[in-house]
């Protein structure tokens, strides 16, 4: 794991690492850096699809819940309105759509990120508490196909980090 003290160095190092053929790499930063996820080759996430599915299910569920209750299960004539008075069902349909899509966004994000995850080896790195303050880290994981301990250490020290440590898994 290599430590950097500014985002520019981290992104440059991440690019070089990716170009060198390492794939199981990750960056850690105190705030989101768009260029960093591009640099480590992570640009696609399934989240928008999950949210879309959540919204569609919520909308259909919301409408047909009302339809089933007011038309099929317990039809009740209110002021001569049709049983399926669909314009009156729209507000609740809309709210259900938003609610389910938002739940899908939050829980989908947490699930894809595998959170909550109380323990992770990177927390063992001595300076890692600074990843939530002003330090930037780059990791090449041991599970990478190209991983060879000495070669990786040599490669990473060539990236010009502020500090370089070996983290026990």
Asked if 118 interacts with another protein (CB under 8 A), we say yes
| Residue/partner pairs of 126-135 with CB below 8 Å, 24 or more apart | 126/165, 127/3, 127/163, 127/165, 128/28, 131/28, 131/29, 131/30, 132/30, 133/30, 134/5, 134/30, 135/3, 135/4, 135/5, 135/30
Closer to another protein at the Cβ: 20 or 103? 103
Asked if 142 interacts with another protein (CB under 8 A), we say no
Indicate the SS3 state at residue 87. Answer: helix
Out of 91, 126, 158, 160, the only residue in the binding site for another protein (CB under 8 A) is 91
Out of 1, 2, 13, 96, the only residue in the binding site for another protein (CB under 8 A) is 96
Out of 19, 21, 76, 149, the only residue in the binding site for another protein (CB under 8 A) is 76
Out of 78, 151, 162, 164, the only residue in the binding site for another protein (CB under 8 A) is 78
Helices (H), the chain: 7-19, 34-39, 47-67, 86-112, 149-157
Out of 115, 149, 150, 168, the only residue in the binding site for another protein (CB under 8 A) is 115
Tokens of 62: 């919301």
Closest to 104 in 3D by CA, of 46, 55, 161: 55
x/- mask, another protein, residues 30-69, rule CB under 8 A, reads xxxxxxxx--x-xx-x-xx--x---x---------xx--x
Is the distance from CB of 132 to CB of 10 less than 8 angstroms? Answer: no
Contact positions vs another protein (CB under 8 A): 6-8, 11, 14, 26-37, 40, 42-43, 45, 47-48, 51, 55, 65-66, 69-70, 73-74, 76, 78, 81, 85, 88-89, 91-92, 94-96, 98-99, 101-103, 105-106, 108-110, 112-113, 115-120, 122-123, 128-134
């Amino acid at each position: 794991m290599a430590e950097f003290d500014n985002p520019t160095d981290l992104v440059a190092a991440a690019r070089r690492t990716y170009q060198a053929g390492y794939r199981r790499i990750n960056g850690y930063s105190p705030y989101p850096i768009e260029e960093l996820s591009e640099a480590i080759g992570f640009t696609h996430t399934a989240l928008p699809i999950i949210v879309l599915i959540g919204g569609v299910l919520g909308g259909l569920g919301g409408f047909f819940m009302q339809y089933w209750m007011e038309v099929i299960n317990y039809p009740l004539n209110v002021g001569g309105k049709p049983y399926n008075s669909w314009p009156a069902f729209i507000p609740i349909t809309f709210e259900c759509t938003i609610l389910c899509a938002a739940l899908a966004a939050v829980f989908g994000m947490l699930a894809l990120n595998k959170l909550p995850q109380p323990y992770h080896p990177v927390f063992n790195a001595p300076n890692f508490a600074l990843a939530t303050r002003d330090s930037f880290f780059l990791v090449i994981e041991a599970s990478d196909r190209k991983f060879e301990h000495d070669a990786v250490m040599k490669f990473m020290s060539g990236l010009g980090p502020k500090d370089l440590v070996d983290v026990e898994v």
